[in-house]
Amino acid sequence: MIYTITLNPAIDRLVFLEKHLSKRKTNRAAKVAYDIGGKGTHGSYAMSRLGVPNLALGFAGEKNLEKFEQVLEQKNISHLFLKIPNEQTRESIVIIEPNNQGTTMLTEPGFLVPESIKNELLAYFEEQVTAEDVVLIAGSLPENFNLSDLEKLIIGLKGKNCFIACDLSGEALVRAVDLGVDFIKPNEFELTELLLSEEGSADYALNQLAQKITCVVASRGELGSICCYEGKRYQVKAPKVNEVNDTGAGDCFVGAFLAAFSKDWDIEAALKTGSACAASKVQYEDSSYFDPVEAEQLMSQVELTVCQNTI
């Protein structure tokens, strides 16, 4: 089974404007849609669209739980979120201007997670996870879910010998790297965050990371990605497409990559699947939608070059 963990989810209200956003005016919406933000759920969405079973886990506030679960169900995401009494899941407003003119996000502070519910999550994994499972931890942490809580979660999972993937940033990503998780996908910004304590170039950092992490994918937007896995370096060129909105490209990549990789650990197939699904995604306004049929066609346009990793 693949589990995704979204510790700090949000109900995203996507407001598509008719025209350019202007201050001190009534800005009319052409349509409104809902999504669950917070990254892990986007990974689950990509896996579900590819027909790969998975379960989205995390925390959710009791006060607006119904609305939260309704959006997950509309998106066919199997889920089991632990309920936080008397709290609500943060709601975000995402204002999308027409013709790729930009996105503005207004977000609320998130909930606080009681210690008993943090422990419930640890206990769930202790009982359920096996060495055959894949667990993706993605997105930001709730305000009072600190690095030592993340550490406990990762150490618990490591004890189970499952494959641990992390799409985190900042200090949380640094901590995940220190603990030696199995997969990370830093984008260019996150890679420089990991570089701070290291000497040398991004290239050097990638090689250093490859010594600690089973599979590292450094994503580079429309340029594609570079992956280090089992002593080899894979240079991946992304298909050329008409980009409409690249928000969520990384989440889509990670979800699709893990869906393919967990089948038979074929790295080339996984890189092609992740790249093709993400290339499909960027052609749509929505930050998670992609078309699996279109992705299938884009697979042949993903260019892969393999060489030995020189350290």
Please give the structure tokens belonging to residue 96.
Answer: 């999308």
Size of the site for Mg ion (CB under 5 A): 1
The Cα 81–Cα 78 span in angstroms is 10
Minimum separation from the CB atom of position 251 to Mg ion (A): 6
What string of DSSP letters covers 59-114?
EEESTTHHHHHHHHHHTT--EEEEEETT---EEEEEEE-STT--EEEEE-------
* CA distance linking residue 191 with residue 131, whole number of Å: 29
For residue 16, give Cα distances in angstroms to 27, 32, 242, 280: 10, 6, 20, 20
Q: In whole angstroms, what is the distance from residue 21 CA to residue 104 CA?
A: 9
Residues 6+ apart with CB under 8 A from 297: none
Return the one option of ligand ATP, Mg ion, none that residue 221 interacts with (CB less than 5 to 8 A, by type). ligand ATP
Query: CB of 228: closest distance to ligand ATP in angstroms?
Result: 14
For ligand ATP, the closer of residues 164 and 168 by Cβ is 168
Question: Which of 40, 139, 248, 250 contacts Mg ion by CB under 5 A?
Answer: 250
Residues 6+ apart with CB under 8 A from 165: 134, 135, 136, 137, 181, 182, 183, 184, 254, 258
Please give the residue whose beta carbon sits closest to ligand ATP in the complex.
250
CB nearer Mg ion, residue 43 or residue 61? 43
Q: Which is nearer to Mg ion, 73 or 188 (CB)?
A: 188
Q: Is 38 in the site for Mg ion (CB under 5 A)?
A: no
Closest CA to 259 of 48, 78, 6: 48
Least distance in Å: CB of 288 to ligand ATP? 9
Strand partners, 6: 58
Residues that bind ligand ATP (CB under 6 A): 187, 219-222, 224-225, 238-239, 241, 243, 246-251, 253, 275, 278-279, 282
**Span of 18-26, 153-161, 247-255, 262-270 interacting with Mg ion by CB under 5 A:** 247-255
Q: Under a CB-based contact definition with an 8 Å cutoff, are residues 137 and 168 in contact?
A: yes
CB of 244 to ligand ATP, least distance (A): 9
Q: Which residues contact 304 (CB under 8 A, 6 or more apart)?
A: 234, 235, 236, 237, 268, 271, 272
The residue among 250 and 255 lying less far from Mg ion, judged by its C-beta, is 250
Of ligand ATP, Mg ion, none, which one sits near residue 279, judging by CB under 5 to 8 A according to partner kind? Answer: ligand ATP
Considering beta carbons, is residue 64 or 92 the nearer one to ligand ATP?
92
Q: Which does 21 bind (CB under 5 to 8 A by kind): ligand ATP, Mg ion, none?
A: none
Residue number, 27 or 103, with CB nearest to ligand ATP: 103
In the bound state with ligand ATP, the residue whose beta carbon lies nearer, of 225 and 262, is 225
Which spans of this chain sit near Mg ion (rule: CB under 5 A)? 250
